[in-house]
Amino acid sequence: MLEQLEVAPSSSDGGYDRDKFPHWITQSDNCNTREVVLKRDGKTVMQDDKCAAVSGTWKSPYDGKTWTDADDIQIDHMVPLANAWRSGASKWTTDQREIFANDLTHPQLFAVTGTVNSDKSDSSPDEWKPPLSSFYCKYASSWVAVKDNYNLTITSAEKSALADMLSTC
């Protein structure tokens, strides 16, 4: 699938604004996307009547750390919103960006350690890799699947880094 992705230079961030990707929308039972991912990715997650996770255990796939407080967890967009913007999402409608930012079907959203997610920021795989090398295969295959599904481009440096990580599969 990596070979099928279009390689192109990254466009500028001009016009990017996170608010152009409406995220954490209501999914069902008044639960927003964040709460759905916390429930999906955690173990023994208990939610209050407003759907907020009040207890549970989460293991971050990026660094292998385990957390018992949902406040220590962030929901990462595998392909960051700014990266998506630079690789084609700038041409999408707001509705298309909302679907991307809240995608529970493809490997786009992961519950991860907050500090690690902050370190990643909007970096591509040539700029950042998960601290846990045993997650490289899943990380790269998820990145490629999301880019493929949304017809987003990759840079040549991104393609090289993804190929290296995929070689760990």
Band (pLDDT 50/70/90 cuts) for residue 34 is: very high
Q: From the CB of residue 94, how many other CB atoms can be counted at a distance below 10 Å?
A: 11
Band (pLDDT 50/70/90 cuts) for residue 30 is: confident
User: Mean pLDDT, to the nearest integer, of 117-143?
Assistant: 97
CA angle 169, 147, 156 (to 5 degrees): 75
pLDDT beyond 80 at 13: no
CA angle 160, 165, 167 (to 5 degrees): 95
pLDDT beyond 90 at 29: no
Nearest to residue 128, comparing CAs of 80, 85, 90, 86? Answer: 80
pTM value > 0.85: yes
Q: Is 39 exposed, middle or buried (0-12, 13-18, 19+ CB in 10 A)?
A: middle
